[in-house]
């Protein structure tokens, strides 16, 4: 934990303790800590792989192996119909998810080529892609162009 995190934790503890001493009812959970929230214990603590599936600790999700190049519609169908794993719920990642994964320095072997996302640029009708070799750089492609895909599913 960095110094800012330690200061924040200490400050939070101090404020909560002071409020409790004054008799205020302080909820100890977060807005997500109710009985209906998913079990987040499935989240990996570090990057790990299950064969060709990579578990992402930053997004608490799983990434499929990289596909061959295909159009955006083929990529969307590819993810929706991905069933050759024990994990379900595959879909195209958003541009934010894919960018976050790229910035998290994943230990993936094959990072060459543009990857499709589910995010569309509403002004142009083009689809956002990103390239893991150039984290933080997103490119717009026509849906009929060819790019690769790494499907994503949340583990939450």
* Rounded Cα distance, 129 and 117, in Å: 6
Q: Look at the pTM and tell me if it is higher than 0.85.
A: no
Q: Is residue 43 part of a domain?
A: no
Residue 58 and residue 10 share a domain: no
Residue 53 and residue 26 share a domain: no
- What are the tokens at 95? 């541009």
Residue 59 and residue 9 share a domain: no
Residue 53 and residue 20 share a domain: no
- 80: how many CB neighbours lie within 10 A of its CB? 13
* CATH code of the domain covering residue 100: 3.10.100.10
- 142: how many CB neighbours lie within 10 A of its CB? 11
Of 111, 112, 119, 116, the closest CA to residue 144 belongs to 116
Give the tens place of pLDDT for each residue, 51-102: 889 999 999 999 999 999 999 999 999 999 998 778 889 999 999 999 999 8
Q: Is residue 107 part of a domain?
A: yes
How sure is the predictor about 1, in pLDDT bands with cuts at 50, 70 and 90?
Answer: very low
Give the tens place of pLDDT for each residue, 94-137: 999 999 998 888 888 888 899 999 999 999 999 999 988 888 88
Query: What's the pLDDT score for residue 41?
Result: 56
Residue 25 and residue 79 share a domain: no
Q: Give the residue numbers spanning the domain of 6.
A: 1-30
User: Could you tell me if 111 and 87 are in contact, meaning their C-beta atoms sit under 8 angstroms apart?
Assistant: no
Of 91, 140, 85, 148, the closest CA to residue 118 belongs to 91
């Amino acid at each position: 934990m960095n110094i800012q995190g330690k200061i924040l934790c200490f400050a939070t503890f101090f404020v909560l303790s002071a409020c409790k001493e004054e008799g205020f009812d302080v909820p100890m959970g977060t807005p997500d800590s109710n009985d209906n929230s998913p079990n987040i214990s499935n989240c990996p603590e570090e990057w790990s792989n299950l064969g060709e599936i990579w578990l992402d600790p930053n997004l608490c999700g799983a990434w499929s192996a990289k596909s061959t190049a295909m159009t955006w519609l083929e990529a969307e169908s590819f993810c929706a119909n991905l069933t050759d794993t024990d994990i379900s719920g595959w879909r195209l990642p958003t541009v934010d998810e894919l960018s976050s994964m790229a910035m998290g320095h994943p230990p993936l072997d094959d990072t060459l080529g543009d990857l499709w996302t589910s995010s569309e640029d509403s002004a142009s009708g083009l689809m956002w892609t990103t390239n893991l070799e150039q984290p933080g750089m997103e490119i717009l492609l026509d849906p009929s162009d060819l790019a690769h895909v790494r499907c994503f599913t949340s583990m939450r």
